[in-house]
Copies of this chain bind each other. A is one copy, B any other.
Amino acid sequence: MRDSRPPGRAAAAPLAPGPEFDLIRGFLAGGSAVRPDVRVGPGDDCAVVAGDGIALSTDMSVEGVHFRREWLSPAEIGWRAAAAALSDLAAVAARPIGILVSLAVPAEEADALAPALMAGCREAVESVGGTLLGGDLTRSPGPVVIDVTVVGEAPNPVLRSGARMGDEVWVTGQLGGAAAFVSAMLAGEEPRRGARERFARPLPRVREARWLAERVGPTAMIDLSDGLAGDAAHIAAASGLAVLLVPELLPVHPAARSRSRPRTVRAALTGGEDYELCLTAPTGAVAPHADAFHAAFGVALTCVGRTGGGDGVWWVDAEGHRTPMELGGWQHFRGEA
């Protein structure tokens, strides 16, 4: 063990409220003993094991829940499944080593479908410097299922639990684009420009996260898979504080903007699967780097609020008045693609 974290670090990190998370809390009840080979246990974006800090996470994509085959090519489905998992490595600022991919596909389509799905996974992991390490292939009696496990090096992982009172809250990129694509498709409308790419080819912010970890030193970080409201609630719960967001500051993807400002804000706040990053850092630590970050990656860094006392996620106005936020995040278990 290279770092000086107390042994209790291996305990499960607190999760935000919600039915999916209630089930997960149940799985972990009566938790496992503290172990020297587990630095970060369940409940963060990745587990981190072994002395060197190996970050691990797994993400399952199910046809009809996370994607529809009418909407995406098999290579896009594979890319998207792998990118969603790789985004968890970004969230702890890990350097990707590779992925393991388990595929279940209908037997009669296997010869055509499995290689295309796998090629998409491989392209995604190779785009961030990792490799295909292994996997499993089985037939499915129905839906295509892809489970991607990511493996990376994270000697100094950035966790959800490190935010401190008075930190600023920042996000990368623009929010709501992927959800705008889903909404348009479900409504039978033509998706607006740029929305399809945000859904079909999300870019895991792996290099961006490592850049930030090296130059800015975020106190906490999470990737935005369920929407900013839901994911910021995990930072709040894990760090034992409140996240206070300023609605006017949210960077909304053009495809998610509407004439109604509340609707626009809601889209940015609850739209899932953007795979951008949300991070906290001491006041003034990020701003000096925002231009260089944009120059390096073509991605904006936007301050969207700060942390404060209490718990949960709130709106805050210029006078510091809080308004409860009752929007919820994207929950795969109840939501639909």
Q: Which of B26, B37, B103, B141 contacts A65 (CB 8 A)?
A: B141
Query: A134: which B residues are within 8 A, CB to CB?
Result: 41-43, 46-47, 56-58
- Is the C-beta of A24 less than 8 angstroms from some C-beta in chain B? yes
Q: How many copies does the complex hold?
A: 2
Known: A38-B97, A97-B38, A132-B27. A333 touches B151 (CB 8 A): no
* Contact between B41 and A133, CB atoms less than 8 A apart: yes
- Residue A136, interface by CB 8 Å: yes
In the assembled complex, 12 residue pairs joining A and B whose CB atoms fall closer than 8 Å, in A order, are: A23-B110, A28-B132, A32-B132, A41-B133, A42-B133, A46-B134, A50-B50, A56-B151, A58-B134, A62-B139, A65-B139, A140-B143
Instruction: Note all chain B residues with C-beta closer than 8 A to A43.
Output: 134
Q: Is the CB of B37 within 8 A of A135?
A: no
Known: A115-B26, A147-B58, A149-B149. Is A97-B138 also a contact (CB below 8 A)?
no
A126 adjacent to chain B (CB < 8 Å): yes
Given contacts A62-B141, A145-B147, 15 further A-B contacts (CB under 8 A): A20-B137, A23-B111, A24-B135, A28-B132, A38-B131, A42-B135, A46-B134, A47-B133, A56-B133, A58-B100, A58-B101, A60-B145, A137-B333, A141-B143, A145-B145
**B122–A27 CB distance below 8 A:** yes
Report the separation of the CA atoms of residues A110 and B104 in the bound assembly, to the nearest whole angstrom. Answer: 20
Task: Report A62-121 residues with CB < 8 Å from chain B CB.
Answer: 62-66, 97-98, 100-104, 107, 110-111, 114-115, 118-119
Are A104 and B138 in contact, with the CB atoms below 8 A?
no
Q: How large is the interface on A (under 10, 10 to 19, 20 to 34, 35 or more residues)?
A: 35 or more
- Whether the pair B149, A115 counts as a contact (CB closer than 8 A) is no
Decide if B126 touches A60 in the complex (CB within 8 Å).
Answer: no
A122 and B30 alpha carbons, distance in the complex (Å): 11
- Set of chain B residues within 8 Å of A20, measured between Cβ atoms: 137
What is the distance, in angstroms, from A16's C-beta to the closest C-beta of chain B?
15
| Given A100-B58, A137-B24, A142-B141: A126 and B32 interface contact (C-beta under 8 Å) | yes
A42 proximity list for chain B (CB < 8 A): 132-135
- Indicate whether A51 reaches chain B with its CB closer than 8 angstroms: yes
A46 to B100, CA, bound (A): 10
**By the criterion CB–CB under 8 Å, are B140 and A100 in contact?**
no
Task: Determine if B57 and A54 form an interchain contact, defined as CB atoms under 8 angstroms apart.
Answer: no
Given known A-B contacts A62-B138, A333-B110, A35 and B100 have beta carbons under 8 A apart = no
